[in-house]
Chains A and B, each alone.
Chain A
């Protein structure tokens, strides 16, 4: 056992880079999946809609920890052996896809329906309608809740430590194993997460207020 020093603090900060990196890559992956799920969810075809509903229900109705376990052990079982980094990214992306899909579905449906109908009457097809009329407006509506969800995503990356990925939480555990100062270390870890998440919370709140102002009648 040894005492804590400034180098240990730097060690935690360096580990926080992996938390950020994992959050970003899960957001990219989750963004792609979420966009697909949102489009399927508002599709005119029933089976596609039901698939999206089922996907959202499945991932929002089960614990993220178990989802990570299934991806991690499942890939092992199929002989892929993804390892903690890829498994965590994939698991978090699948999960984020469900939440982002639901958020963006709400944003798409908040765009007045008549606009899509008017575009159709003008002879536009599905893709141009989505691209030029619905999505640009939906993006603006969806931005505040998306930033709010990012806070959840950053916090969720801490679960990657349980399947062995070394990020902020795992680094805290390692540091605790050699120094055994759990209160100081985990409070510092919590504080670092707070520094990552709080600006996002504030930004989300500001954006929300601005949107509420824009849509005020």
Chain B
């Protein structure tokens, strides 16, 4: 093995990598928030919507969960323009991330909703709360609390999956790394540093989730 590592080119491109990391954080954070939002409505529809809606949500979840994210990105970015819907790379990436992320999150939130004791819903009804009020202030907070940990792991996976949108050259970390690589031909060094940045990002997100959990559900710690 006569290879000498050379990180000088990577060091020179550090600003690009840091910007890429920042863009990945933004893309992931926005996708996580939107996925959670879609998932709350999706899970509500899946558990207490009309039968046809329940079935539709179930089909959507099954289809997304049983096909690769890469192919979903291709369908959205290359397929939709053929049907008359033209998207730029970043919008396409965001839509793909949210569609993918929410399918997984719907299942998690649904599990949380089903874990809430039904007696509580009955008690809320007896107290005169309407169905949506019951969902918003009784069921949902407990459901989210119950599934906070798996939700966090799922969001980390979503962040790691964001590297795949580099194939349509959306602005994020892996695309930045590929740019640098094609200019300097230091592929191994560039990708090594990029991988390390992703590791830091996933540890960072894990930390943020732990703090969020403590802030949102303080009672959980004393239990």
Mark A residues whose CB is within 8 Å of B: 57-58, 61-67, 69-70, 73-74, 76-79, 151, 155-159, 161-162, 169, 172-173, 176, 181-183, 186-187, 189-190, 193-194, 197-198, 201
- The residues of B that contact A159 with a CB separation of less than 8 Å are 68, 70, 164
Contact B67–A190 (Cβ < 8 Å) = yes
How near does chain A come to B177, taking the closest CB pair, in angstroms?
A: 8
Closest-by-CB residue of A relative to B24 is: A63
Indicate if the CB atoms of B160 and A63 lie closer than 8 Å: yes
State A190–B73 Cα separation when bound (angstroms): 11
Ranked nearest first, the 4 interchain pairs of A and B with the lowest CB-CB distance are: A183-B79, A158-B68, A182-B78, A63-B163
8 Å CB contacts to A: which residues of B128-177? 156, 160-164, 166-167, 174
Kindly list chain B residues whose C-beta atoms are within 8 Å of the C-beta of A189: 71, 74
Rounded to whole angstroms, the CA-CA distance of A161 and B198 in the bound complex is 22
B192 at the interface (CB under 8 A from A): yes
Residue in chain A with minimal CB distance to B163: A63
Residue among B62, B68, B70, B202 having the largest count of chain A Cβ atoms under 10 Å: B68
Q: A97: shortest Cβ distance to chain B, in Å?
A: 17
A73 touches B188 (CB 8 A): yes
Contact of A63 with B71 in the complex, beta carbons under 8 Å: no
Q: Is there a chain A Cβ closer than 8 Å to B54's Cβ? A: no
B2 proximity list for chain A (CB < 8 A):
79
B67's partner among A78, A173, A193 (CB-CB below 8 A) is A193
User: Which B residues form the contact surface with A (CB < 8 A)?
Assistant: 1-3, 62-63, 65-72, 74-75, 78-83, 156, 160-164, 166-167, 174, 187-188, 191-192, 194-195, 198-199, 202-203
Can you list 14 A-B pairs with a CB-CB distance of less than 8 A?
Answer: A62-B160, A62-B199, A63-B164, A64-B160, A66-B198, A69-B191, A70-B188, A73-B188, A77-B188, A157-B68, A161-B70, A183-B82, A190-B68, A190-B72
Q: How far is A156 from B167 in the complex, measured between Cα atoms in Å?
A: 15
Cβ B69 vs Cβ A155 within 8 A: yes
A198 touches B62 (CB 8 A): yes
Give Cα A187 to B75, complex, Å: 7
Contacts A62-B195, A186-B71 given; does A198 touch B78 at CB 8 Å:
no
Given A66-B191, A158-B69, 14 more A-B residue pairs with CB atoms under 8 Å apart are A61-B202, A63-B161, A65-B164, A77-B187, A158-B68, A161-B70, A169-B68, A183-B80, A183-B82, A183-B83, A189-B74, A190-B63, A190-B68, A201-B66
Q: Say how far B174's CB is from chain A's closest CB, in angstroms.
A: 7
Which chain A residue has the least Cβ–Cβ distance from B196?
A: A62
Q: How far, in Å, is A17 (CB) from chain B's closest CB? A: 17
